[in-house]
Amino acid sequence: MDRRTAARLISAIPTKSITRMKLAIFTTGGTIDKVYFDAKSDYKVGEPQIKSILDRVGVTFPFDVTELFYKDSLDMTEADRRLIVDAVAAADTDRVIVTHGTDTMVETAKALKDRVGQVKTVVLVGSLTPARFRETDAEFNIGVAVGAVQSLPFGVYLAMNGRVFDPESVRKNRAENRFEPI
Total-model pTM: 0.82
What integer pLDDT is reported at residue 171 of this predicted model?
A: 95
Measure CA 87 to chain center. 14
When pLDDT is averaged across residues 111-128 and rounded to a whole number, the result is 95
pLDDT > 90: percent of the chain: 60
Higher per-residue pLDDT: 69 or 47: 69
DSSP, collapsed to helix, strand or coil, labels residue 152 as coil
Calpha distance 88→94 (Å, rounded)? 9
State the pLDDT at residue 57. Answer: 85
CB 130 within 8 A of CB 36: yes
Torsion angles phi and psi, residue 105, rounded to 5: -55, -40
- Vertex 128 angle, CA 73 and 180, to 5°: 90
pLDDT digits (tens, 9 = 90+) for 29-55: 887 776 665 555 566 666 667 888 888
Q: What is the pLDDT of residues 7-28, one digit of tens each?
A: 565 556 555 444 567 999 999 9
The pLDDT mean for the chain works out to: 86
What is the CATH number that goes with domain 29-165? 3.40.50.1170
Gap between the Cα atoms of 125 and 101, Å rounded: 8
Report, as an integer, the average pLDDT of 131-158.
90
Work out the number of other CB atoms within 10 angstroms of the CB of residue 93.
16
Torsion from C-alpha of 139, 75, 37, 127, nearest 10 degrees? -10
C-alpha distances out from residue 158 to 38, 44, 104, 124, Å: 31, 23, 12, 5
**What's the rounded mean pLDDT across residues 86-90?**
98
pLDDT at 142: 93
Other C-beta atoms lying within 10 Å of the C-beta of residue 170: 21
Confidence tier at 128 by pLDDT (50, 70, 90): confident
Enumerate the domain spans of the chain. 29-165
Q: How far is CA 122 from the centre of its chain?
A: 8
- 3-state class of 128 per DSSP? coil
6: pLDDT strictly greater than 70: no
What is the spatial distance between Cα 177 and Cα 175, in angstroms, rounded to a whole number? 6
Rounded average pLDDT over 60-83: 93
pLDDT value at position 41? 54
Looking at residue 39, its pLDDT comes to 52
